[in-house]
Structure 1
Amino acid sequence: MGAAGSKLEKALGEQFPEGERYFGLENFGNTCYCNSVLQALYFCVPFREQLLEYYLNNKTLTDSEETLLTCLADLFMQISSQKKKTGVIAPKRFVQKLKKQNEIFRSYMHQDAHEFLNYLLNELVDLLEKEARKAKNDTASLSPPENVANGPKNGHPDGAQKEPLVTWVHKNFQGLLTNETRCLQCETVTARDETFLDLSLDIEQNSSITSCLKNFSSTETLNAEDKFFCDKCCSLQEAQKRMKIKKPPQILVIHLKRFKYIEQLSRYKKLSYRVVFPLELKLSNTVEDADAEYSLFAVVVHVGSGPNHGHYVSLVKSHNHWLFFDDENVEMIDESAVQTFFGSAQEYSSNTDHGYILFYEGVDAGSGIPS
């Protein structure tokens, strides 16, 4: 990427951010799904900083202790510590580890970037939780046993569940949904909470993220064969059900469901619908923060007319500049270019570059800057 790299440096000139690095990632045969997501995660600054800190605390690990987490931390450290400002890096160890661990990603077939992101975040959570439990057990085994007449101080005599571990992946990406069901006979509301690391939204033609979120939280009536069993009435009753965001995450990841299974065709079809995603987003239906504000900082784009072939690229905002990452190539783009990835207003269009996964970071309401 010599010429492209120098072109990017020239374009940014004196505005090139201090200490920042813009590196393309080599493609190992259909690994664009991986490269595009990794670029989005690298420019998720709090996540990157915590991963680099993890690297510094664990750099003495041997190859036999290598995990997807250590490979990712190593890759991010490679990029951030480069002497050059631009260039290309081969994420070889990371891709090899990914393929070794998960057979889905072993083939050279077109993979799904959202499926990869989902797998990666959950795998990082599992590894961090295991390490936290091991550290806790090691500490406990080193402590002298407590000989207290009334039993151990830290016991749970009432059988209460221990608090779930909260990793830095959770702190960045985890939000809380609440599923409310109101019995129309006795008006009792049953609420069930569930966590999420990303939101998958159904899409419609010529819509927006705001309208997709409204549909996600719309009220559904349960009647006829779908009646709800109300514990208070002790019988099946008509009810109203809705899902809403109870606690918004620090980093809001939105997956647009562009691939839909068409029964008549017995296959998946790509929906090229035009869905407007704003640079600034307000969540108005949250319980704890009625006006959670977000700023768009990355978009993973699917290029192609169908789900089984195509290409992935990513758009990233870094220090108020928008950059376009296409495997080894990195170039600067104008902010107005982002809207060309909203989708197509007509069903058949030559434009096949559509926003697929959106990354928003929470904005501190007081300062107007990402928190």
Structure 2
Amino acid sequence: MGATGSKLEKALGEQFPEGERYFGLENFGNTCYCNSVLQGDPDALFFCVPFREQLLEYHEKNKNNGDAEENLLTCLADLFSQISSQKKKTGVVSPKRFVQRVKKQNELFRSYMHQDAHEFLNFLLNELVDILEKEANTPKPSSDASLLPQKLANGHTNLHVNGVEKEPLVTWVHKNFQGTLTNETKCLLCETVTAKDEPFLDLSLDIEQNSSITSCLKNFSSTETLNAEDKFFCDKCCSLQEAQKRMKIKKPPNILVIHLKRFKYIEQLGRYKKLLYRVVFPLELKLNNTVENSDTEYALFAVVVHVGIGPNHGHYVSLVKSHNHWLYFDDENVEIIDESAVQTYFGSAQEYTGNTDHGYILFYESLDSKR
């Protein structure tokens, strides 16, 4: 990326952010699913500054620990450190060690077939959480039995200190990406509302032609009637009853990750098909009518784009906003683009089109977390 890097530096000139690094990632045949998430996710990971700082802090604390076992977290931390410590402002780095660890951890990513960037993102975030929880729950040598980890019914391990159970561990992955959904079911006979909370690291939204993220979110939280064979068992009525069910966001995350469900299984075809639908994703987003606190506002800062007409082949690139500049990442290549270019990735207004570059995973940062 020598020439490309020089071009990027020249384009930014004196506006090049102090201390920032814009590096492409080498592609090992079919690893664009990984690079796009690492570039669109260190922009949700690397360019998600709070996450980057916490990962680099983790690396600094553990770099001299010769007994530490290599895992996905240490490999990712090493990669971030490698990029951040570069003397040059632009260039290309090789994520070879990280990619090898991904393939070792998960056989799904060992083949040379086209992989799904959303599946990789889910795997990565959950794996990081598991590693951090394991490290936090590993007791230091002690003769005090009250410090030993206690196994809970849900399979998670909590530490007991002086006989008092600690709260479930909240890692910096949780602090950045985790929100809370509330699944509410209202019995139509006694009108009792049953609510069940569940955490989420990203939202997967069904999409329609010529729609928007706002309308997709409204559909996500729309009311569904449970009747006939789908009746709800009401504990108060002690019987099956018709009910109304809805899902809403109770606690929005600092980083809202939205996955557009562009791949749909078509029974007539007997396979998955990519939906080329045009779905407008705004640069600023309000979560109206979906959360208890409706004042939550977000700003778009990264987009993973799927290029291609089907789920089994194609390519991934990323759009990233860094220091008020939009950048286009395509493996080794990085270039600056105009903000208006983002809308070209909304999708296609017609089913048959030459445009196959569509927004697939969106990363929004809460404006409250930036204040």
**8 Å Cα contact 2:221/2:290 also seen in 1:** no
2:32 maps to which residue?
Answer: 32
Once the two structures are superposed, residues 289-316 of structure 1 have per-residue CA deviations (whole angstroms, 9 ceiling, x without a partner) of: 2111000000000000000000000000
Please state whether the residue corresponding to 1:289 is helix, strand or coil: coil
Please state whether the residue corresponding to 1:176 is helix, strand or coil: strand
**8 Å Cα contact 1:230/1:237 also seen in 2:** yes
Please state whether the residue corresponding to 2:367 is helix, strand or coil: strand
- Structure-2 separation of matches of 1:84 and 1:153: 48
Among 88, 97, 103, the residue aligned to 1:99: 103
Please state whether the residue corresponding to 1:43 is helix, strand or coil: coil
**C-alpha spacing 1:8/1:263, structure 2 compared with 1 (3 Å):** same
**C-alpha spacing 1:74/1:297, structure 2 compared with 1 (3 Å):** same
Letter of the structure 2 residue corresponding to residue 24 of structure 1? G
Equivalences for 1:179-218 in 2 at 5 Å?
179-218=183-222
- Structure-2 separation of matches of 1:153 and 1:290: 38
Identity %: 84
Please state whether the residue corresponding to 1:65 is helix, strand or coil: coil
Instruction: Indicate yes or no: 2:312 matched with 1:308.
Output: yes
- Structure-1 separation of matches of 2:247 and 2:227: 17
- Structure-1 separation of matches of 2:25 and 2:161: 52
Among 346, 356, 367, the residue aligned to 1:342: 346
Letter of the structure 2 residue corresponding to residue 17 of structure 1? P
Instruction: Indicate yes or no: 2:97 matched with 1:126.
Output: no
Among 330, 343, 362, the residue aligned to 1:326: 330
Once the 2 structures are TM-superposed, how far is the Cα of residue 154 of structure 1 from its aligned partner?
A: 3.3
Letter of the structure 2 residue corresponding to residue 276 of structure 1? V
Please state whether the residue corresponding to 1:211 is helix, strand or coil: helix
Instruction: Indicate yes or no: 2:370 matched with 1:370.
Output: yes
Once the 2 structures are TM-superposed, how far is the Cα of residue 143 of structure 1 from its aligned partner?
A: 5.8
Instruction: Indicate yes or no: 2:269 matched with 1:265.
Output: yes
**8 Å Cα contact 2:218/2:290 also seen in 1:** no
Once the 2 structures are TM-superposed, how far is the Cα of residue 272 of structure 1 from its aligned partner?
A: 0.5
**8 Å Cα contact 1:272/1:343 also seen in 2:** yes
Once the 2 structures are TM-superposed, how far is the Cα of residue 287 of structure 1 from its aligned partner?
A: 4.0
Equivalences for 1:138-153 in 2 at 5 Å?
138=140, 141=142
Please state whether the residue corresponding to 2:137 is helix, strand or coil: helix
1:46 maps to which residue?
Answer: 50
- Structure-2 separation of matches of 1:295 and 1:194: 24
Extract unaligned runs of 5+ from structure 1.
Answer: 147-151
Please state whether the residue corresponding to 1:177 is helix, strand or coil: strand
**Range that drifts further, 164-173 or 283-292:** 283-292
1:234 maps to which residue?
Answer: 238
2:77 maps to which residue?
Answer: 73
1:15 maps to which residue?
Answer: 15
**8 Å Cα contact 1:272/1:352 also seen in 2:** yes
**8 Å Cα contact 1:175/1:248 also seen in 2:** yes
Once the 2 structures are TM-superposed, how far is the Cα of residue 63 of structure 1 from its aligned partner?
A: 7.9
**C-alpha spacing 1:64/1:99, structure 2 compared with 1 (3 Å):** farther
- Structure-1 separation of matches of 2:37 and 2:55: 15
- Structure-1 separation of matches of 2:57 and 2:182: 33
Instruction: Indicate yes or no: 2:257 matched with 1:249.
Output: no
**8 Å Cα contact 1:245/1:285 also seen in 2:** no
Among 166, 183, 194, the residue aligned to 2:170: 166
Moved over 6 A (4+): none
Once the two structures are superposed, residues 234-281 of structure 1 have per-residue CA deviations (whole angstroms, 9 ceiling, x without a partner) of: 111110000000000000000000000011111000001000000000
**8 Å Cα contact 2:258/2:362 also seen in 1:** yes
- Structure-1 separation of matches of 2:75 and 2:346: 33
Instruction: Indicate yes or no: 2:128 matched with 1:87.
Output: no
- Structure-1 separation of matches of 2:64 and 2:292: 42
2:152 maps to which residue?
Answer: none
1:155 maps to which residue?
Answer: 163
**C-alpha spacing 1:193/1:12, structure 2 compared with 1 (3 Å):** same
Once the 2 structures are TM-superposed, how far is the Cα of residue 286 of structure 1 from its aligned partner?
A: 4.3
1:5 maps to which residue?
Answer: 5
- Structure-2 separation of matches of 1:321 and 1:262: 39
**8 Å Cα contact 1:304/1:311 also seen in 2:** yes
Extract unaligned runs of 5+ from structure 2.
Answer: 148-159
Once the two structures are superposed, residues 1-54 of structure 1 have per-residue CA deviations (whole angstroms, 9 ceiling, x without a partner) of: 111000000000000000000000000011000000001221111111100000
Once the 2 structures are TM-superposed, how far is the Cα of residue 155 of structure 1 from its aligned partner?
A: 2.4
Among 55, 63, 69, the residue aligned to 2:59: 55
Please state whether the residue corresponding to 1:338 is helix, strand or coil: helix
**C-alpha spacing 1:276/1:221, structure 2 compared with 1 (3 Å):** same
Letter of the structure 1 residue corresponding to residue 274 of structure 2? K
Please state whether the residue corresponding to 1:30 is helix, strand or coil: coil
- Structure-2 separation of matches of 1:144 and 1:310: 54
Once the two structures are superposed, residues 149-198 of structure 1 have per-residue CA deviations (whole angstroms, 9 ceiling, x without a partner) of: xxx98325xxxx75211100000000000000000000100000000000
Once the 2 structures are TM-superposed, how far is the Cα of residue 284 of structure 1 from its aligned partner?
A: 1.6
Once the 2 structures are TM-superposed, how far is the Cα of residue 61 of structure 1 from its aligned partner?
A: 3.2
Q: TM-score, normalised by structure 2?
A: 0.93
